[in-house]
A and B are shown apart, each in its own frame.
Chain A
Amino acid sequence: QAVVTQEPSLTVSPGGTVTLTCGSSTGAVTSGHYPYWFQQKPGQAPTTLIYDTTNKHSWTPARFSGSLLGGKVALTLSGAQPEDEAKYYCILFYSGARSWVFGGGTKLTVL
């Protein structure tokens, strides 16, 4: 099974910008992996922020954006707010195995 890697932790200052990335052990991440990003706060169910690399849901704050970056998929937060402190997970689809694999998650601290 493929391994999906994320930064274990990142810190951003309030109002600052941070980029979280998600890579694959099988090679470059592409739109064909249908990348998603999820946010999870302690004690809560996850919420879906980004789907298919770049698309936002209606509830996704405009300060979040998704992209492909250097063979990985990225989630950029521009203008971090205290309420953005959470764990962020990406997931990738592997068509050959017809399976989805989560990354280990990035704990984002706004400090």
Chain B
Amino acid sequence: EVLLVESGGGLVQPGGSLRLSCAASGFTFSSYWMGWVRQAPGKGLEWVANIKEDGSEKNYVDSVKGRFTISRDNAKSSLYLQMNRLRVEDMAVYFCLGGPHADYWGQGTLVTVSS
């Protein structure tokens, strides 16, 4: 069974940092691009970032460039999102996804940015 399990969400003040993790199992994690998508409360989906199989290419939505860093550890089948200088508008459920054709989604982790 394929599982993507996100963790690391929580309440943080504006300007703070969080590190999200996504633990993958049930598929060959190291063979596929992985990414993060977020959904603000009551809003649509927004692509945040993705990373190539070997980590050699990383891409970001403009609004997070310079603040967020995506990374992966293929030995641990894990995906990460380091989020710095968080803003109120970053508040959302963050989903990890990946697989041959974005086959697999996690259930999401909620990031709340509030003072």
Chain A residues near B (Cβ < 8 Å): 1, 36, 38, 40, 45-48, 51-52, 55, 57, 87, 89, 91, 98-105
Contacts and interface: CB of A to CB of B under 8 A. Distances in A.
Contact of A45 (B57, B101, B108): B108
Most chain A beta carbons < 10 A, residue from B45, B60, B108? B45
B44 interface: yes
B95 interface: yes
B105 A47 contact: yes
B105 A105 contact: no
Chain B interface category by residue count: 20 to 34
30 contacts: A1-B62, A36-B101, A36-B102, A38-B45, A40-B45, A45-B105, A45-B107, A45-B108, A46-B37, A46-B105, A48-B102, A51-B101, A51-B102, A52-B101, A55-B101, A57-B103, A89-B44, A89-B45, A91-B45, A98-B59, A99-B61, A99-B62, A100-B47, A100-B50, A101-B47, A102-B37, A102-B44, A102-B45, A102-B46, A105-B44
Interface of B: 35, 37, 44-47, 50, 57, 59-62, 95, 97, 101-103, 105-108
